[in-house]
Structure 1
Amino acid sequence: MATTASTASADGTDPGVAALERARELTGPALRDWTGTLPPAVAGWAGYHLGLQDEAGRPPRGYRGKAVRPALVLSCAEAVGGAARDAVRAAVTVELVHNFSLLHDDVIDQDALRRHRPTVWKLFGVPAAVLTGDALLALAHRVLATASGPRTAASVAMLGRAVEELVEGEAMDVAFEQRPEITTAEYAAMATAKTGALMGAACGLGALAGGADAERAGALAEFGRHLGLAFQIVDDLLGVFGDPKTTGKPVGGDIAARKKTYPVLAALASDGAQGRTLAGLYASGAPLSDADLRWAALLVTDAGGVRAARRAVDQELEAAFAALAEAGPAPEGRRDLTALAQVLTRRNN
């Protein structure tokens, strides 16, 4: 994987890991405060989903969230010469929108677990999950709209476009479930909308909060879009090979659900026996045992799906770093964003 700058900090810590930790520290209290302004009817469900409390309203047991998108917001604000504290509202905004999408995704996909716990719809019912997602989306716009500064209107418009694209990506994803054949290019377009749009907005909103003009913010948004697609493809690999102890999801969950993710689609498109066997497993409709899931994972690897996915990740990172260079970030900002990109695409949980 190519990089654009050294990611070693003076004290030897990884700047990408440090950016995530700082984002949790800066946005966590603000996220809790803003969530507390929600109507009582949904505040408890929102607090549970966000990891702020357990199902009975008690303090949580350890989970603090990854803060991927807030870290991008804060780092992009600093990369254009701004201060992280001036971008906290933008960071809270994108975290709320991200969690709105997760709540609705869980209902659409009927996923029973997230972050090692029952999902909101599974624990409290589908209406609770839908309403909580709606509330978080409305709150996100309220948080951003009440931010001070000359670029608030541009920021709200950017967020609105990102949410529209995110919804379009979700609609494409649902439509794909009814189609027997999907190309990796079609999947990449869907994932760019569903995941890349919000990560791009995180970077663009951070840049605007840091005082950047529209052109510079646009270049950083493009960095985030490409990083978002790379991040999603890595997530797809974890859906096949990830350890459930760290991912919080069942082993081979994506294959068990017959999800056509990037590595699976690349394997299915291969002209070999392994790809044809995998296609047979996907078409059978019969429940897959743990042994079947392990076999399917081997087929994805042997048919070239893993290799193709990793190549796509590297290509998206190259494009992301080119956009980052175009934005002309400060040296430390460039280092931190490069390191953050590496952390997000070389994870195992």
Structure 2
Amino acid sequence: MPSEAAARARPVRDVVVWSRGMVEPALRAAVDGLPGSVRHVAGYHLGWWDEHGEPTASGGGKAIRPVLAQLAAEAVHGSAIDAVPAAAAVELVHNFSLLHDDVLDGDLTRRHRPTAWHVFGVHSAILAGDAMLASAFDVLAASGHPAALTGVRMLNAAVLNLVEGEHEDLAFEARHDIAVAECVAMVERKTAGLLADACALGALFGGGGPAEVAGLRDFGLKVGVAFQHVDDLLGIWGDPAVTGKPVHGDLHARKKSLPVVAALTSGTPAGRELAVLYRDAVIEPARMAELVEAAGGRKWSEQQAGLLLSQALHHLDSIDLAPRPAAELAALANTIVHRDH
């Protein structure tokens, strides 16, 4: 039988709509405050308008981080409204990283349409990302919240970790001796750290104490690494019609993603053949995908995602939280791990 809190919990899609209704006005206000030279690029990237500035019906991504922040605030018996600056700031940082990531990786599509750099040029996309990053800190600093300064420092630490993780991820492309533990540590800095920070910032702006902030950060970190396992699996085997990304995109770029590194270090014949293909001048993504699976990389990542989800939910259960938002955080974590895009 489901618990009373779980029974009262809203469906994840309703929670996302609830969060978006509060956070999107703050995001739009932040983008409206950007210099005109980059405002159009930022709004295009966020899915609000097309390359000509005409409004579109396309979404602005999964909006996971704002939802985590607002639910974390409620989970520590605070207000989701008070956490709007934290939610908006984290989402601005996330989109700064995506704008730069698309340039660094040379990706041509995101969210089922051309990437910002492909439409407006590399320089405009990079500068739009820079502007969104600056705006994120301004949103926190201008919030008037008693914890604003602490929040700025927390977010700054997350951004520095993200940059370090991105540097490691790019460096991995030229290396052939990456250990699984190195790859996981990179993911904790690059991807999981911002999800962890969303939870921690939300708890902080919700009035949570140090133990609650730390516990929700741990929850977010586990969810974040699980998120990356799923993202890496979708980057190889996902349906482009659903993911909005090209098929075998990570393999085309010779990305050392989690399942790939697990396969490369498996000591199996398939892993050794995969290593040869990763060094070869000719890219054979379909064969690479077969070898990652044959070497156990796919199964390992699937198992790790499930294990990390269990650990995240254990962290959640170990904190004294408001039952309904805690149940909604658990449901969101499940959705993140079992998504198809």
| TM-score (structure 2 length as normaliser) | 0.95
Moved more, 22-31 or 53-62: 22-31
Cα distance in 1, alignment partners of residues 209 and 331 from structure 2: 24
Shift in Å at residue 63 of structure 1? 2.2
Contact 1:114 1:248 in 2 (8 A): yes
Structure 2 CA distance for partners of 1:93 and 1:5, relative to 1, 3 Å:
farther
Point out where structure 2 has 5 or more consecutive residues left out of the alignment: none
Conserved 8 A contact 1:86-1:209: yes
Match of 1:169 in 2: 165
Q: Which residue is 1:264 aligned to? A: 260
> What does 1:184-223 correspond to in 2, within 5 Å?
184-223=180-219
Residue 345 of structure 1 is matched in structure 2 by: 337
Query: CA separation of 1:283/1:7 partners in 2, compared to 1, >3 Å: closer, same or farther?
Result: farther
Pairing partner for 1:27 from 23, 26, 47:
23
Query: For 1:186-242, what per-residue CA distance to the aligned partner results, in whole angstroms no more than 9, with x for missing partners?
Result: 000000000111111100110011111222112111111111111011100000100
Distance 1:278 1:181, change over 3 A: same
Distance in 2 separating the partners of 1:228 and 1:258: 22
Q: How do 1:69-148 residues align onto structure 2 when only pairs under 5 Å count?
A: 69-148=65-144
Q: Aligned partner of 1:304: which letter?
A: G
Match in the other structure for 2:297: 305
Change (3 A) 1:28 1:180: same
The runs of at least 4 aligned residues of structure 1 exceeding 6 Å deviation read 4-7
Q: Which residue of 2 aligns with 1:9?
A: 7
> Counterpart of 1:84 in 2: which secondary structure?
coil
Q: Deviations over 1:52-75 (max 9, x none)?
A: 111000001332421110010011
Most deviating of 275-284 and 90-99:
275-284
CA distance in 2, matches of 1:28, 1:149: 19
Distance 2:321 2:234 in 1: 31
Are 2:325 and 1:325 aligned?
A: no
Q: Deviations over 1:78-123 (max 9, x none)?
A: 1010121111111110000000011111111111111111112111
Q: Distance in 2 between matches of 1:7 and 1:226?
A: 23
2:176 to 175, 180, 184: 180
Secondary structure of the corresponding residue to residue 86 of structure 1: coil
Distance 2:5 2:229 in 1: 23
Query: Residues of 1 paired with 2:38 and 2:193: CA distance?
Result: 27
Query: How many Å separate the matches in 2 of 1:178 and 1:303?
Result: 21
8 Å Cα contact 2:219/2:312 also seen in 1 = yes
1:23 Cα offset (Å): 1.9
For structure 1, which runs of at least 5 residues remain unmatched after alignment?
A: none
Retained in 2: the 8 A contact 1:223–1:320? yes
C-alpha spacing 1:239/1:6, structure 2 compared with 1 (3 Å): farther
User: Closer, same or farther in 2 for the Cα pair 1:345/1:5, shift >3 Å?
Assistant: farther
Stretch of structure 1 that moved more, 228-237 or 317-326: 317-326
Q: CA deviation at 1:330?
A: 1.2
1:154/1:279 CA distance change after superposition, 3 Å:
same
Which among 205, 225, 232 is matched to residue 228 of structure 2? 232
Q: 1:8 to 1:213 in 2, by over 3 A?
A: closer
Shift of 1:287: 3.3
CA distances 1:276-329 after superposition (whole Å, capped 9, x unpaired): 2222222212133xxxx3333222222111111122212322332232233321
For the residue of structure 2 that corresponds to 1:9, the secondary structure is helix
Q: Is the Cα contact below 8 Å between 1:32 and 1:52 reproduced in 2? A: no
Structure 1 residues 104 and 258, CA gap change in structure 2 (3 angstroms):
same
Equivalent residues of 1:5, 1:334 under 8 A apart: no
* 1:336 alignment partner AA: E
Query: Between Structure 1 and Structure 2, how many residues are aligned?
Result: 340
Query: Are 1:7 and 1:338, in contact at CA under 8 Å, matched by a contact in 2?
Result: no
After TM superposition, the score normalised by the length of structure 1 is 0.93
Residue 234 of structure 2 is aligned to residue 242 of structure 1: no
RMSD in angstroms over aligned alpha carbons?
1.8
Asked if the contact 1:145–1:156 (Cα under 8 Å) also holds between the matched residues in 2, the reply is yes
Q: Find the aligned partners of 1:96 and 1:141 in 2 and give their Cα distance.
A: 9
1:153 to 149, 154, 157: 149
Letter in 1 for 2:299: R
> Structure 2 CA distance, aligned partners of 1:91 and 1:221?
14
